[in-house]
Structure 1
Amino acid sequence: MSRTSPHTHHQRGEVSRRGLLKTAGGLTAALALGAGAAASTAGAAPATFTHPGMLHNWGDINRAKVRVAAGDDPWLSGWNRLTANSHSQSTWTPRPQATVIRGGTGENYGLLYNDIAAAYQNALRWQVAGTEANARCAADILNAWSSTLTTVTGNADRFLAAGIYGWQFANAAELMRGYSGFDLARFQRMMVEVFYPLNNQFLTGHNDACITNYWANWDLCNMASVMAIGILTDDGAKYDQAVTYFKSGAGNGSIAHAVPYLHTDSDGYALGQWQESGRDQGHTVMGMGQMGAICEMAWNQGDDLYSYDGRRFMKAAQYVAKYNLGSTVPFTTYTWGSGQNCAQQTQTVISSASRGQVRPVWAMLHYHYNRRLYLDDKYISQMCFSVAPEGGGGDYGSTSGGYDQLGFGTLMYAK
């Protein structure tokens, strides 16, 4: 049963107020049922989901529309990056597959991530400029895949594919919601039947490995997919599953495990050591994008995960930005159990591998912490402007890392 609301633009104050009302309602219900119900009820999903309500709400879309039309920067520069990308052209031809393989023999998942980038970018062009050809192209890509794809498989990497491409696919679909040429119901069915089972299987079983074996990003992309599918299908239970895991999940993607140690630098800035910092910086910056997507989607549904646990995620983003800008950061030895028998592994220093790698993940974080909340986000801010204007899939190389984030944050988040 769909609980969608009409396309109304919720003012920010209204969203946070709804969050307060939601909590108040949960507490009232808990008092009626007994104290034990408080934990599950207070954090419940919104009674009515906001649409569009994933990476972009109506306010974001309208601002980009007005600013680009007026020729204002930095929006115009962001728009020019979008329109110059080969994936955003309305002539893009989808290449849907019945089976997508990531990891092992017969890999073909590049077809999927290229088509998702094209669907998202064409959807953005339609939303911002109203171009019918882009809408038709995006709908054609989404429809082609929802009528064809039945299986995502491969070695353990199949869980990465189900997670990353799950939340991204759902975001493209959310932008096309309400377009007459898009078969939303069939797409929703594909997300629930093909992507969600793998997302859920990973978060609950971790591929039968030691709970700390998989890096934070594995949990994060699957959490993001569960949340996005929950929003796309108006499924409160799935949305709650993702929020609950963010706050208290057993694996490395939950906030306390993803940011295991807190530090303060000599200038007094609070920093949070990221779980993958001793591994390499490419995956660490990827984590900023995956956790950022979860926080932004939740924000657009009235939940503030960005500030959860003393703004722990902001501290991590400051840490990652500072190190990747070339400065030194403190590092506490990180020890974890690996494999199936939890064999102990240790990292004693931060990794300089792929240090400074550019990924389009910073605008979302800067414009949230600095322009919505008016906080001093020194390092995030410097990183944001050093990589602006942000592009998207196709602008950062042809391998999967260049497609781990949808991008175009300058266009969609600048305030």
Structure 2
Amino acid sequence: MGHHNAHRMSRRSVLKVAGGLAAAGAASGGVAAWSSSSADAAADAGKKATAFTHPGMLHSSGDLNRAKKRVAAGDEPWLSGWKRLTANGRSQSGRTPRPQKTVVRGGGSGENYGLLYADIHAAYQNALRWHIGGTQENADTARDILNAWSGTLKSIEGDTNRYLALGLYGWQFANAAELMRDYDGFDLERSQQMMRDVFHGWNHDFLVRHNGTCDSHYWANWDLCNMASMMAIGILCDDRAIYDEALDYFYDGAGNGAIKNAVPFLHPDVDGHDLGQWQESGRDQGHTIMGIGQMGAICEMAWNQGTDLYGYDNNRFMKGAQYVAKYNLGQDVPFTTYEWGSGHNCTPNSHTEISPGGRGQQRPVWDMLHYHYTRRRKLSVPYISEMAQSVRPEGGGGDYGASSGGYDQLGFGTLLYAK
């Protein structure tokens, strides 16, 4: 990333926050903007700006409360989303966790990473059932799974694919832990320590070094899951420096997870709105949709901490998601030749056309975007909305195939984000 970039971006973030607070104070203060009570309020606002909101990753307390009330009232589409959750085999209480000291992804022999993601999704789904249904046995199950792993896991190993595990299961574990952070008997401190010791250092190392390769070598997903892990660990651990590193990378990073590298080209659409070509579009659609899910998770976590990445650079991510949705709905999209360097010597490569591989694949990543852009922001996103409708009600891990791809996202967006 380059340390100069990182420091410059951090200062810019700080100035932006400070400016926003000053503007807010002036706007709300009216005539008495400079009274001592306003100065106290401004100081309080400054403190609030540096404290993290909990729960504050994929789900705020408002999201959880709304789902709880709507499900209790039997309202749709929340009830259908709830039925999807309770029908999932991983959401059942009483699961016996299978923690490992070493988890291996990639390299062939000894691969056991499926044990980790199955337990993470079980912890997450049980945590949701407790928050929304109030059932203590689900909370106990989530707590016991998380405690078992935080007391056992020491390292993630394997070939280059270990970095996918470090990213994906980092942000997912932290999200499950965030939902349980105040629950009786949950060892938050040990989970925080495990996230720092096992995940964060390697997430950081990957984004800085890219495993010794050219910065453009790895597809957007690899950066994005490691950025998401750092952001989630920063929130879980109340560590502003880790959180800010993920933010800075989103704005300014050297690799393909940075927003302008993930969405390198903008194309005008028929309705006058822009579509954003996604970095992996020439590769295949499964990984492209996966990338939308990873960046969506980053944007939602940041949103719940008061940072708007969804709208950054004139809604650049929204344009990327619209492009991906339009093509996967079976419609044509423009494509600009995409060139990048790979390997240790940045060997030149190019995609000259969009790839139809995996076109139309279903992944539960769209409702979060649909409800953000149409309800919170009152924007029209017809392709995202149509994709969301085609997957609704969204399921979660295990509902989209038994392979790891079915566990790349936590899902259940209909239940948690419908408004």
TM score, norm. by length of structure 1: 0.90
What's the counterpart of residue 300 of structure 1? 304
Distance in structure 1 (CA, Å) of the matches to 2:354 and 2:260: 19
Q: 2: CA distance between counterparts of 1:402 and 1:160? A: 14
**Matching residue's letter, 1:124:** L
1:45–1:243 Cα change, 3 Å? farther
Output one character per residue of 1:218-252: Cα deviation in whole Å (capped at 9) or x when no partner: 00000000000000000000000000000000000
Provide the residue aligned with 2:60 in structure 1.
57
Q: Which amino acid aligns with 2:81?
A: G
Deviation at 1:268? 2.2
Question: What is the distance in 1 between the residues matched to 2:351 and 2:16?
Answer: 41
Partner of 2:290: 286
Q: How far apart are the structure 2 equivalents of 1:267 and 1:367?
A: 21
Aligned twin of 1:132: 136
Match of 1:368 in 2: 372
Deviation at 1:22, TM superposition (A): 4.5
Q: Secondary structure at the match of 1:346?
A: strand
Partner residue in 1 for 2:405: 401
Cα-to-partner distance string for 1:278-328 (whole Å, 9 max, x where unaligned): 000000000111000000000000000000011000000000000000000
Inter-CA distance 27–69: structure 2 relative to 1 (3 Å threshold): closer
Q: Does structure 2 conserve the Cα–Cα contact (< 8 Å) formed by 1:78 and 1:389? A: yes
Aligned to 2:81: 78
Cα separation, 2, equivalents of 1:204 and 1:356: 34
Residue 100 to residue 72, structure 1, CA distance change in 2 (3 Å): same
| 1:88 paired residue number | 91
CA 1:27–1:225 in 2, change beyond 3 Å: closer, same or farther? farther
1:383 partnered with 2:383: no
1:334 paired with 2:338, answer: yes
Indicate conservation of the 8 Å contact 1:45/1:236, yes or no: no
In structure 1, how many angstroms separate the alpha carbons of the residues matched to 2:287 and 2:404? Answer: 12
- Give, in angstroms, the shift of residue 91 of structure 1: 2.1
The residue type equivalent to 2:224 in the other structure is L
The counterpart of 1:48, out of the listed 46, 51, 62, is: 51
Hey, what's the Cα distance between the residues in 1 that align with 2:112 and 2:299?
30
Q: Equivalent residue for 1:118?
A: 122
What is the DSSP-based 3-state SS (H/G/I as helix, E as strand, rest coil) of the residue aligned with 1:262? Answer: strand
* SS class of match (2:266): strand
Residue identity over aligned pairs, in percent, reads 69
Deviations 1:360-390 (A, max 9, x none): 0000000000110000000000000111000
1:271 to 238, 257, 275: 275
Report the equivalent of 1:312.
Answer: 316
Matched, 1:357 2:353: no
- Offset of residue 254 of structure 1: 0.2
Q: Secondary structure at the match of 2:111?
A: coil
C-alpha displacement of 1:45: 9.9
Q: Residues 45 and 207 (structure 1 numbering): CA distance in 2 closer, same or farther, change over 3 Å?
A: farther
Structure 2 unmatched ranges of 5 or more: 1-14, 25-46
Q: Distance in 1 between matches of 2:74 and 2:16?
A: 38
Q: 1:92-140 deviations in whole A, cap 9, x for unaligned?
A: 2211000000000211000001000000000000000110000000000
Secondary structure of 1:336's counterpart equals: strand
**Distance of aligned partners of 1:278 and 1:21 in 2 relative to their CA distance in 1, 3 Å threshold:** closer
Q: CA RMSD in A?
A: 1.7
- What is the one-letter code of the residue matched to 1:98? K
CA distance in 2, matches of 1:107, 1:46: 43
* 1:23-68 residue CA offsets vs partner (Å, 9 max, x unmatched): 435999xxxxxxxxxxxxxxx9941100000000011000000000
Work out the CA distance in 2 between the residues paired with 1:356 and 1:336. Answer: 26
SS at match of 2:103: strand
- Tell me whether 1:69 sits opposite 2:63 in the alignment: no
Whole-angstrom distance in 2 between the partners of 1:24 and 1:73: 38
Structure 1: how far apart are the matches of 2:220 and 2:17? 32
Distance 1:313 1:45 in 2: 28
**What SS class does the counterpart of residue 272 from structure 1 fall into?**
strand
Equivalent residue of 1:313, what SS?
helix
Q: Separation in 1 of the partners of 2:48 and 2:355? A: 38
In 2, the alpha carbon distance for the partners of 1:316 and 1:192 equals 32
Correspondence for 1:13:
none
Distance between the aligned counterparts of 1:109 and 1:396, measured in 2? 18
**1:45–1:237 contact (8 Å) kept in structure 2:** no
Task: Find the residue that maps to 2:50 and give its secondary structure.
Answer: coil
2:20 to 24, 27, 44: 24
Residue in structure 1 matched with residue 184 of structure 2 by the alignment: 180
Relative distance call for 1:186 and 1:245 in structure 2 (3 A) is same
Q: How many residues align?
A: 383
Unpaired runs of 5+ residues, structure 1, are 1-18, 29-43
Paired residue secondary structure (2:276) = strand
Over 3 Å counting, the alpha-carbon distance change for 1:45 and 1:335 in structure 2 is farther
